[in-house]
């Protein structure tokens, strides 16, 4: 299906989406991070972890098995069930960031304060924006929430439905049939993602962005395939966004239902239908685009010649010869690219800096160094001989006296 760009649509992120609506997932977080071994079985090396011990603890990824145990746990663990008597787990409301020291935070309180700091209107205003009923009484609110007790608690705190924070009211609504969110969140989320699609001129399904074959190849890629290609996990569910009840439902990464990305749709033709073989350059990059070949050199090389050549339909020849990629001599630049007291050596596309090699010194410099050392040794010996002659040691005087006979 092709989607056309709608320039009048703003694809930017709405304030209510960033500060409230998209944070509905906080009520789906489990209090424990489940970690599983290669066979999706509990591992004594990586036991379940309390949530507050995993926050800002990236060192666990390095020292405790990488991301694979955590991903296996996420693939088999259901999201927390949203119930009115416990919207969020205590790991988020009583122990948030506690493992990092200091006082713990309350994520629910942070969400409320964030919405107020951003100046978000109340719950009723967003209901009207989405074409939903506007609660004005306790009975209206109880009908929307499907829970009279919850409606009484909200009015005891806010006095009137118009004062209810949008985040609190949105997560309090019961989910729609087959969904995870209520009517207000469904509306706000849908508006944002529709704007991201319709207002983005680079949206992958927009006509002219990719060919039909390329879009078909992208459509077949799944999150399961991404996990297979970037981890050591070999068994994945067909759809990671739906709950997998047992390990027997997992599929190997080689299963036809989890196909890899087929890049053949991006392969460029080697010839133009009018001018024949496409002139390429080495090293360098070339792109055939509407009977024109665009050229670019890699880093460390400069393009010498035209940046593109076109196919002349009259002569059925390319308009000019392709350019070349000439190596850039970084060592000739000023100031030097290498630190002081090092030598620069140019290499294709780059350069190296090395310490001066003793073997590279000239023969005259080596001979001069040897002569200087020998001369220094000779001077030291001469000084020692002269000192011994003119300043004899005390032991020499004693020995000479002992050897003299009395007359």
The CA distance from 155 to 406, in Å, is 130
Beta strands of 3-89 (E only): which ranges? 32-33, 49-50
CB atoms within 10 A of CB 186: 18
- Find, among 238, 257, 197, 165, the residue nearest to 1 by Cα: 197
Beta strands of 173-296 (E only): which ranges? 235-236, 251-252, 271-272, 276-277, 285-288, 292-296
26 is in an annotated binding site: yes
The CA distance from 199 to 255, in Å, is 36
The CA distance from 161 to 136, in Å, is 6
Long-range contacts of 295-300 (CB under 8 A, 24+ apart): 295/322, 295/323, 297/325, 298/325, 298/349, 299/349, 300/327, 300/328, 300/330, 300/348, 300/349, 300/350
Binding residues for heme b: 26
Binding residues: 26
């Amino acid at each position: 299906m092709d989607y056309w760009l709608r320039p009048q649509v703003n694809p930017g992120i709405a304030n209510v989406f960033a500060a409230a609506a998209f944070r509905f997932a906080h009520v789906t977080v489990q209090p424990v991070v489940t970690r599983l071994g290669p066979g999706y079985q509990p591992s004594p090396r990586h036991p379940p972890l309390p949530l507050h011990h995993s926050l800002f603890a990236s060192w666990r990824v390095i020292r405790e098995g990488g991301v694979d145990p955590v991903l296996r746990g996420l693939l088999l663990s259901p999201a927390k069930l949203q119930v009115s008597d416990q919207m969020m787990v205590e790991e988020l409301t009583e122990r948030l960031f506690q493992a990092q020291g200091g006082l713990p935070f309350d994520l629910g309180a942070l969400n409320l304060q964030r919405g107020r700091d951003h100046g978000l209107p109340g719950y009723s205003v967003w209901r009207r924006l989405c074409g939903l009923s506007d609660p004005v009484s306790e009975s209206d609110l109880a009908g929307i929430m499907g829970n009279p007790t919850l409606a009484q608690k909200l009015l005891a705190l806010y006095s009137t439905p118009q004062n209810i924070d949008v985040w609190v009211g949105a997560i309090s609504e019961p989910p729609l049939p087959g969904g995870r969110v209520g009517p207000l969140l469904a509306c706000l989320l849908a508006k944002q993602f529709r704007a991201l699609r319709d207002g983005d001129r680079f949206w992958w399904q927009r006509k002219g962005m990719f060919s039909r074959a390329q879009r078909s190849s992208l459509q077949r890629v799944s999150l399961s395939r991404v996990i297979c290609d970037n981890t050591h996990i070999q068994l994945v569910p067909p759809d990671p966004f739906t709950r997998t009840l047992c390990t027997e439902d997992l599929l190997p990464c080689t299963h036809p239902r989890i196909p890899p990305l087929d890049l053949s749709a991006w392969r460029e033709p080697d010839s133009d239908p009018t001018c024949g073989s496409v002139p390429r350059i080495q090293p360098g990059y070339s792109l055939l685009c509407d009977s024109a070949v665009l050229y670019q050199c890699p880093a460390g090389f400069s393009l010498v010649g035209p940046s593109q050549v076109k196919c002349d339909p009259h002569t059925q020849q390319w308009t000019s010869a392709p350019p070349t990629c000439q190596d850039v001599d970084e060592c000739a630049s000023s100031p030097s690219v290498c630190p002081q007291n090092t030598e620069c050596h140019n290499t294709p596309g780059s350069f190296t800096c090395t310490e001066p090699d003793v073997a590279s010194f000239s023969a005259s410099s080596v001979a001069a160094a040897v002569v200087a050392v020998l001369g220094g040794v000779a001077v030291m010996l001469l000084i020692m001989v002269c000192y011994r002659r003119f300043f004899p040691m005390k032991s020499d005087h004693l020995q000479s006296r002992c050897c003299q006979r009395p007359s």
